[in-house]
Amino acid sequence: MNNTVLNQGKKIAAIVFLMTAAVVNAQVQPPVPPKDPRPGMERPEPGPRPDEVREITTLSGTVSKMSTNDDFVYDGFYLNSSGGQVLVKFPPHLGSQITALAKQGSQISIKGMADVAPNGEKSFRMNSITANGKTIEDTPPAVPQTPPQEVSVTESGTITDLQKNKEGDGVVGIFVDNTLLKMPPHIYQQLGQALVKGTKISFTGFKKPDNSGEVAERKFNIVRARTISVNGKEYAL
pLDDT confidence of residue 45: 44
Is 35 a domain residue?
A: no
- Statement to judge: residues 97 and 124 lie in one domain: yes
DSSP H helices in 77-217: 95-101, 185-191
Q: In the 8-state DSSP scheme, what is residue 237? A: -
pLDDT confidence of residue 177: 86
pTM over 0.85? The answer is: no
- Statement to judge: residues 129 and 173 lie in one domain: no
Rounded to the nearest angstrom, the gap between the alpha carbon of residue 203 and the centroid of all alpha carbons in its chain is 25
For 162-215, the pLDDT digits (tens) are 998 877 777 889 999 889 999 888 888 888 888 899 999 999 999 998 888 999
What whole-number distance in Å separates Cα of residue 63 and Cα of residue 98?
11
Q: Identify the domain containing residue 70 by its residue range.
A: 57-137
> Parallel, antiparallel, or unpaired: how do β-strands 122-131 and 74-81 relate?
unpaired
* Domain CATH code at residue 181: 2.40.50.140
- Statement to judge: residues 156 and 81 lie in one domain: no
Is 215 a domain residue?
A: yes
Listed residues 110, 137, 164: the one ending a domain: 137
DSSP state string for 52-101: -----EEEEEEEEEEEE-TTSBEEEEEEEETTEEEEEE--GGGHHHHHHH
**Nearest alpha carbon to residue 74 among 221, 225, 219:** 219
Helix%, strand%, coil% for the chain, nearest 5: 20, 40, 40
**Nearest alpha carbon to residue 106 among 45, 60, 69:** 60
Is 170 a domain residue?
A: yes
- Statement to judge: residues 214 and 190 lie in one domain: yes
**Nearest alpha carbon to residue 75 among 62, 56, 94, 58:** 94
Count how many domains the chain has: 2
Is 162 a domain residue?
A: yes
Residues of the chain with pLDDT under 50: 1-2, 5-6, 16, 21-47
Is 212 a domain residue?
A: yes
User: With 0-12 CB in 10 A as exposed, 13-18 as middle and 19+ as buried, what is 189?
Assistant: exposed
Is 27 a domain residue?
A: no
Rounded to the nearest angstrom, the gap between the alpha carbon of residue 193 and the centroid of all alpha carbons in its chain is 25
> Parallel, antiparallel, or unpaired: how do β-strands 84-89 and 122-131 relate?
parallel
pLDDT confidence of residue 5: 45
pLDDT confidence of residue 48: 53
- Statement to judge: residues 156 and 216 lie in one domain: yes
- Statement to judge: residues 129 and 159 lie in one domain: no
- Statement to judge: residues 67 and 127 lie in one domain: yes
Collapsing DSSP states into helix, strand and coil, what is residue 152?
Answer: strand
